[in-house]
Amino acid sequence: MERVEQGVLFRAQTGDLDAFTAIVQAYEDQLYTLAFRFLSNSAEAQDAVQETFLRVYTQLRRYDERFKFTTWLYRIATNVCIDRLRKRKAVSSLDAEVTDGVESLQDWHERLASPDPSPEDLLMQSETCNEVQRALGDLPPLYQTVIILRYIQELSLQEISDVLHVPITTVKTRIHRGREALKELLARAPVS
């Protein structure tokens, strides 16, 4: 669903900062949700959204209006999140503190999007949602991406295909394999 009109996009492409601000306001919540699902950390998700909008601003003149703006925007956001996940895994250390699976109050607080509880926040408090989030984080980025885009962001198969530059059949295969991998991870999760 396009939230900004082509006129706003055109004005933003010509350097109108008010028009670009309108774009940011129209999409920042959606992109935060996407980034949070990938990164599972509020501060890092906010940084990813900022980085996404920085890239959008610098590349806006290259946007091809024949395609949906949201597809282009999600492609950039997804790439930013995947880059952050790759960097995170590369930085992992054997000396990193290991927890026994119990989250501190501070860790939980960082996961909240706002001080006002939304339906999503209330669901995230349940143990099942925590397990799904952990399992989602353990999926390979290839599967994690399609699962988030399909089931969290509710993009169509065609939109996912456009975002990832792969055929729809590949998207379907990745979704199927991602669901199977997620099911296997959840089956192995310890019962609380």
Per residue in 134-155, pLDDT (tens digit) is 888 888 988 998 998 898 888 8
Q: Can you tell me the distance from the alpha carbon of 157 to that of 43, in angstroms, rounded to the nearest whole number? A: 30
CA distance 102 to 118: 23
What tens digit of pLDDT does each residue of 26-55 get? 999 999 999 998 888 899 999 999 999 999
Would 98 be classed as within a structural domain?
no
Domain of residue 7: give its range. Answer: 1-91+105-112
Instruction: Looking at the structure, tell me whether residues 10 and 84 fall in a common domain.
Output: yes
Residue 60 structure tokens: 């806006």
Please state, in angstroms and rounded to a whole number, the distance separating the CA atoms of residues 41 and 47: 10
pTM over 0.75: no
119 belongs to a structural domain:
no
**Together in a domain, 63 and 141:** no
Tokens of 34: 């996407």
